[in-house]
Amino acid sequence: MDYIDHVTIARHAGFDAFRATIGARRLVLFTTKSDQSAYDFGFRPDDVLLFGKESAGVPPAIADACDARLRIPMRPQVRSMNLATSTALALGEALRQTATLPG
């Protein structure tokens, strides 16, 4: 990966340790189990976006610990999207709203 020098990777002992590192910033979960559209949500520049496994999402206790739960709208016949696609859509919308799109 030629871009590895431009990212920071951090590993946490568990969810509580991770949550402690983000301080007061909002933790925004993307899940198929929400009725709130990501396009009707007001993102902030310091929001932390969280995505679960493609197969199972996140455990209920983690979902409950999030400050917001959002869904990417899709046709009713579609169960979910690929994680990379979902992440790209969500991040693009958050960056657009907060006028922080790079370049």
Residue 46 within any structural domain of the chain: yes
CATH number for the domain that contains residue 69: 3.40.1280.10
Confidence of residue 90 (pLDDT cuts 50, 70, 90): very high
**Number of folded domains that form the chain:** 1
Is 7 within a domain?
Answer: no
Tell me the whole-structure pTM to 2 decimals.
Answer: 0.89
Q: What is the pLDDT of residue 76?
A: 81
Q: Which phi and psi (to 5°) does residue 63 adopt? A: -60, -40
Q: Is residue 103 part of a domain?
A: no
The per-residue pLDDT for 25 is 98
Give the DSSP letter of residue 36.
S
Q: Examine residue 60 and state whether it is found in any structural domain, yes or no.
A: yes
Q: Which domain holds residue 69?
A: 25-97
Q: Does a structural domain hold residue 3?
A: no
CA geometry: angle at 48 spanning 30 and 37, to 5°?
30
Q: pLDDT tens-digit profile of 1-39?
A: 688 888 889 999 999 999 999 999 999 999 989 999 999
Q: Is residue 12 part of a domain?
A: no
Alpha carbon separation from 58 to 18, 29, 42, 72, 101 (Å, rounded):
14, 9, 22, 16, 28
Predicted pLDDT of residue 98? 97
Confirm whether 4 is domain-assigned: no
Answer yes or no: is 16 within a domain. Answer: no
**Phi, psi of 79, deg, nearest 5:** -70, -45
Which tens digits make up the pLDDT trace of 33-77? 999 999 999 999 999 999 998 888 899 999 999 999 999 998 888
